[in-house]
Amino acid sequence: MPAVLSNADFNTELLNFLQASPTAFHATQTMAAQLLQAGFTRLREIDSWQLVPGQRYFLTRNDSSLIAFIYGKTPLLDSGVRMLGAHTDSPCLKVKPRAELNRRGYYQLGVEVYGGALLAPWFDRDLSMAGRVSYRDLDDHILSALVDFKQPVAIVPSLAIHLDREVNNARSINPQKDIVPLLLQLPAEEAAAPDFRQILSAQLQKEHPTVKVGQLLDYEISLYDTQAPALLGLHHDFIASARLDNLLSCFIGLKSLLEANDEVSSLLICTDHEEVGSASCCGAKGPMLQQFLERLMPDVDTRVRVIEKSLMVSADNAHGLHPNFMDKHDENHGPLLNRGPVIKVNANQRYATTSETSAFFRLLADKAEVPVQTFVARTDMGCGSTIGPVVASEVGVKTIDVGVPTFGMHSIREVAGARDAWFLYRIGVELFQYRKAPVALLSLG
């Protein structure tokens, strides 16, 4: 079992993880590699399983969602399962199926907006592309692989202020028209636009030289900012990066799980498609977790009893109180960066937190000697949501929604405190080492 990481080491590894994970596919691949290295056995959902107490397992679905599980030696009915959930996806621009555009010799790619992206920060960035490609090999098998161009290969240039004098007062962004990235200038205005699939095929061959590509059939490619994640501020108080929502929580979950012993059962679930509602075969609204629990505990009576003793910590970032926009928070519930993870509460069940689950979380924070804060949205404003209420309603597990406070959620460059992710990681370590069942059988005793 590795030692609990220092704040500095944790942040260094977090920045590396963010850099290595430009898409949900890459995040899943990066986590899978670390789990394999830590001795976890890869399960395939297509196989029959013989799960053995004391062993460690993981599986992926759609290459973009992951469950990792430590099957504790203590009987499940005694210990319950301590679970931590996060999501692998982030808002971004995704390349359309017939993307190629030639406009006066400028080669551009049509894009869709994935999730609730803040669009303004996408202008004037050095963008690259990454994702999954599916191809036919020479024997007509359909196979998939990940690609990552890594280099800056595209940009969405701003319109000069001279051509729109009102831009600083009244700017709106048309996602069909205004954010089409530019990749290339063709030799002549009337030249044919290069086939994007051929560009991807060449990239696939470059990254995977042994692969025999018959034909590149389709792709899920998104654009991302090549600016590296960084510690920032005069005293390095902040972390700035793309995809802090929610790869930061995936990384916290992963690192916490890697500290866990095999006495009690622990589970990490990181799912795709949260930013678009989680309804997919591999999303939190899909059956992935439920099916895993059914295969772990085929007997319904046992399964329901174990779930009753279990608890899910759903980790997703929270809105920190922004010093330029103080009135956007309730006066008593504006979480500060570097003052600890946030317990998220919403009377209308946009967050799944209950007094019982938040009490347990506070107990863990106390043991980890970590401060906690609370967030509730202004009563006159709407409230976001996350996988917590989804998992709670699909599986029936008691759940708490928590997260690290950040600025600029869904921007191409979000900001978090340099201490909060580490704080939440320490609580995650406590969660996965907690010996008793998280929820007592007779909670009203």
Q: Tell me the closest approach of the beta carbon of residue 203 to Zn ion, in angstroms.
A: 29
Q: Which stretch binds Zn ion (CB under 5 A): 226-234, 257-265, 312-320, 372-380?
A: 312-320
In the complex with Zn ion, which residue's Cβ is closer, 180 or 254?
A: 254
Tell me how far the alpha carbon of residue 73 is from its chain's centroid.
30
Residue with tokens 């075969």: 281
Strand ranges (E), 105-166: 106-114, 127-137, 142-148
Cβ at position 83, least distance to Zn ion in Å:
17
The answer to whether the CB of 100 falls within 8 A of the CB of 109 is yes
Minimal distance in Å, beta carbon 384 to Zn ion? 8
Residue among 2, 1, 51, 77 at smallest CA distance from 436: 77
Residue 401, beta-bridge partner list: 314
**Cis amide bond preceding 246, omega within 30:** yes
Which residue lies nearer to Zn ion by CB, 296 or 415?
A: 415
- Closest CB to Zn ion among 213 and 270? 270
Token look-up 């107490």 returns: 53
Task: State the nearest-atom distance from the C-beta of 115 to Zn ion, in Å.
Answer: 9
**Cβ distance to Zn ion smaller for residue 21 or 201:** 21
Give per-residue burial for 139-151: e unless 16+ CB within 10 Å, then b.
eeeeeebbbbbee
Residue of 238, 207, 176 lying closest to 14 (CA atoms): 238
Among 60, 241, 246, 314, binds Zn ion (CB under 5 A): 246
User: Which lies closer to Zn ion via its Cβ, residue 100 or residue 245?
Assistant: 245
Pick the closer one to Zn ion by CB: 132 or 319. 319
CA-wise closest residue to 373 among 326, 410, 346, 405: 405
Torsions phi, psi of 315, nearest 5? Answer: -105, 120
Stretch that binds Zn ion, among 202-210, 243-251, 252-260, 433-441 (CB under 5 A): 243-251
In whole angstroms, the minimum distance from the beta carbon of 245 to Zn ion comes to 4
Contact region for Zn ion (CB under 5 A) — 95-103, 119-127, 202-210, 308-316?
308-316
Which is closer to Zn ion, CB of 80 or CB of 85?
Answer: 85
Q: Of the candidates 119, 109, 148, which has an alpha carbon nearest to the alpha carbon of residue 25?
A: 148
Q: Which range of residues in 117-125, 294-302, 313-321, 393-401 is near Zn ion by CB under 5 A?
A: 313-321
CB 220 within 8 A of CB 147: no
Choose one: 6-14, 231-239, 245-253, 260-268; the region binding Zn ion (CB under 5 A): 245-253
- What is the closest distance, in whole angstroms, from the C-beta atom of residue 118 to Zn ion in the complex? 13
Q: Tell me the closest approach of the beta carbon of residue 73 to Zn ion, in angstroms.
A: 34
Which residue, 225 or 316, is less far from Zn ion as judged by CB?
316
In the complex, least distance from residue 404 CB atom to Zn ion, rounded to whole angstroms? 11
* Binding region for Zn ion (CB under 5 A) out of 40-48, 191-199, 203-211, 237-245: 237-245
The DSSP annotation for 167-201 comes to TTTS----TTTTT--EEEE-SSTTSPPPPHHHHHH
Q: How many residues bind Zn ion (CB under 5 A)?
A: 3
Give min distance, CB of 283 to Zn ion, in A. 13
Structure tokens at 287: 């059956």
Q: Shortest CA distance to 413 belongs to which of 167, 174, 245, 182?
A: 245
Query: Is the CB of 89 or the CB of 259 nearer to Zn ion?
Result: 89
CA distance 315 to 248: 9
CB of 229 to Zn ion, least distance (A): 17
Cα-to-chain-centroid distance, residue 172: 28
Cβ-based nearer residue to Zn ion, 406 or 433: 406
401 binds Zn ion (CB under 5 A): no
One residue of 316, 401, 420, 430 binding Zn ion per CB under 5 A: 316
Nearer to Zn ion, 61 or 87 (CB): 87
With binding defined as CB under 5 A, does residue 272 bind Zn ion?
Answer: no
245 belongs to the binding site for Zn ion (CB under 5 A): yes
Q: ∠ at Cα 81 (79, 83), nearest 5°?
A: 145
Neighbours of 251 (CB within 10 A): 27
Stretch that binds Zn ion, among 205-213, 224-232, 250-258, 315-323 (CB under 5 A): 315-323
The minimum distance between CB 410 and Zn ion, in angstroms, equals 8
Distance CA 93, CA 101 (A): 16
CB of 344 closer than 8 Å to CB of 402:
yes
Q: Which stretch binds Zn ion (CB under 5 A): 103-111, 171-179, 211-219, 241-249?
A: 241-249
Are 279 and 53 a contacting pair, CB within 8 Å?
no
Pick between residue 119 and residue 387 the one whose CB is nearest to Zn ion. 387
For the CB of residue 89, give the shortest distance to Zn ion in the complex, in Å. Answer: 8
Other beta carbons within 10 angstroms of residue 211's beta carbon come to 12
User: Site residues (CB under 5 A) for Zn ion?
Assistant: 245-246, 316
